Amino acid sequence: MAITRFDWDPGKDDENQRKHGGVSFSRAQYAFADPQRVIAKDEAHSQAEERFYCFGEVDGGVLTVRFTYRASVIRIIGAGYWRKGKAIYERENEVSE
């Protein structure tokens, strides 16, 4: 079984936690473990390198994680519980409330 590796900038992680309700990048990794996660390309921020979103359930909510791939490592750029990410996750998984 392959092991997925993650990486992030510690300063960016601190900033993300301040801006997005304490969501740490170490916690954001769990979105990728959701078997119903949704991966989508971030068309708006993919100029210099391809960037993506992962929408996955973590702690009872849908967490949106912005990331890129660098040398087979997932580099986390940002994370938070955003309504738009939850809507995409539910639409793609046909979840009804």
Q: What is the DSSP string of 37-53?
A: -EEEE-GGG-SSS--EE
The pLDDT score that the predictor gives to residue 49 is 87
The pLDDT score that the predictor gives to residue 32 is 96
* Phi and psi angles of residue 41, each rounded to the nearest 5 degrees, phi first: -75, 140
Residue 55 pLDDT > 70, yes or no?
yes
Q: Where are the domains positioned within the chain?
A: 6-92
pTM, whole model, 2 decimals?
Answer: 0.87
The pLDDT score that the predictor gives to residue 9 is 96
pLDDT band at 95 (very low <50, low <70, confident <90, very high): low
The pLDDT score that the predictor gives to residue 45 is 74
Name the maximum alpha-carbon separation found in the chain.
39
Alpha carbon distances (Å) from 37 to 34, 53, 91: 5, 10, 12
The pLDDT score that the predictor gives to residue 1 is 56
Strand partners, 70: 73
Domain spanning 6-92 has what CATH number? 3.10.450.530
What is 9-24 written as a DSSP string?
Answer: -HHHHHHHHHHTTT--
